Amino acid sequence: MIAIKAEFYRGTQGQLFRLIRRPVQIKSHLLFVAPLFEQANKTRHHITRSANNAYHLGIESIIFDHFGTGDSEGELSQVTLSVWQADILKQIQDLKSNSSKNIVLSVPLSAALLLSTDILNQTDALILLHADFDGKKFVRQLKRLALVADFSHSPAKNYAQQADAKTHPELLDIAGYQIPASLLAELNEQHITMLASCNVACYWFEWQSSTHNSSLGRVKQQQHLATKTQQFELLPTIDFKFWQASELQLAGDFLAQEQQLFSQLLNMGVGHE
């Protein structure tokens, strides 16, 4: 039986809701950084499965809601990129102050936009899941969603949205989220070239189809990160892109690969004193 503790943790701006799976004998710590907005809802069930798998290997895991999202304190309208980054860094530093075990970050999809050199310098290993460090591309996709929604809504609803936009011009309504324009501007500037060299070991799971390789932009991101980290390993996987499904799906082959990586990290010394 898996021991799960729900708690509110004091972040930099407010209480963060967290779920902690803590084995009796902790060999390593695993902090899951949720991706942004709707991607968080699409990946939550998969992160839960990963955390359960890690628990059986003796790895303590922490799943948390970013400030202003989920069950954490605050409103999305109050969020800045620096607040989210500071909350990640604070949790890593608190783990380090209370444990000599190593710390692994799991970063799926748009969660990569929250990484900073300071965060990576405090981390022992980084696991990326089809990560994308291109902030401009991410913001462009969000704005495209908003545009599609504008065309599909009724005239009455469009009128209400236009009135709300005039009242709160600093907020953009995208896929049901009231996102600060200032936050989108910060995310727009995020790119992998902003990361300095660091000592973290990086493992990048890249979803590929049986007929197509990764895009040139994604390959360039991987190549750049490989020059910045102590150790870089690309792990191609041909599996279901669970975050794109209309219903909850699991990528079984990937979960098996990920569990093998957890074991590999422990056997290599990551997570041991």
Tokens 């957890």 identify what position? 262
Report the predicted TM-score, pTM, of the whole model to 2 decimal places: 0.91
Radius of gyration from C-alpha coordinates of the chain: 19
Q: Are 124 and 102 in contact (CB under 8 A)?
A: yes
For residue 272, the 8-state DSSP code is: -
Q: Is the dihedral of CA 104, 4, 8, 186 positive or negative?
A: positive
pLDDT-wise least confident of 32-36, 179-183, 206-210: 206-210
* Token digits of residue 35: 């991706």
What proportions of the chain, in percent to the nearest 5, are helix, strand and coil?
A: 45, 20, 35
pLDDT of residue 8 exceeding 90: yes
* Token digits of residue 211: 């007929």
pLDDT of residue 178 exceeding 80: yes
State the pLDDT at residue 150: 57
**pLDDT for 13-24, tens place per residue?**
999 999 999 999
Distance, in Å, from the CA atom of 229 to the CA atom of 117, rounded to the nearest integer, reads 11
**pLDDT for 228-250, tens place per residue?**
998 999 999 999 899 998 888 89
When pLDDT is averaged across residues 90-95 and rounded to a whole number, the result is: 98
pLDDT of residue 160 exceeding 60: no
Q: Are 62 and 92 in contact (CB under 8 A)?
A: no
Q: Are 94 and 88 in contact (CB under 8 A)?
A: no
When pLDDT is averaged across residues 255-260 and rounded to a whole number, the result is: 97
Task: Supply the mean pLDDT for the chain.
Answer: 90
Distance from CA of residue 244 to its chain's centroid? 15
Per-residue CA distances from 212 to 208, 215, 216, 252 (Å): 7, 9, 11, 21
CB neighbours of residue 122 within 10 Å: 19
State the pLDDT at residue 269: 67
pLDDT band at 159 (very low <50, low <70, confident <90, very high): very low
Q: How many CA atoms lie within 13 A of 120 on its CB side?
A: 25
Question: Which residue type, as a one-letter code, is found at position 35?
Answer: P
When pLDDT is averaged across residues 252-260 and rounded to a whole number, the result is: 96
Q: Report percent pLDDT > 70 for the chain.
A: 88
pLDDT of residue 95 exceeding 90: yes
When pLDDT is averaged across residues 137-166 and rounded to a whole number, the result is: 63
Which run of H or E residues covers position 139? helix 135-152
pLDDT-wise least confident of 17-31, 109-123, 160-174: 160-174
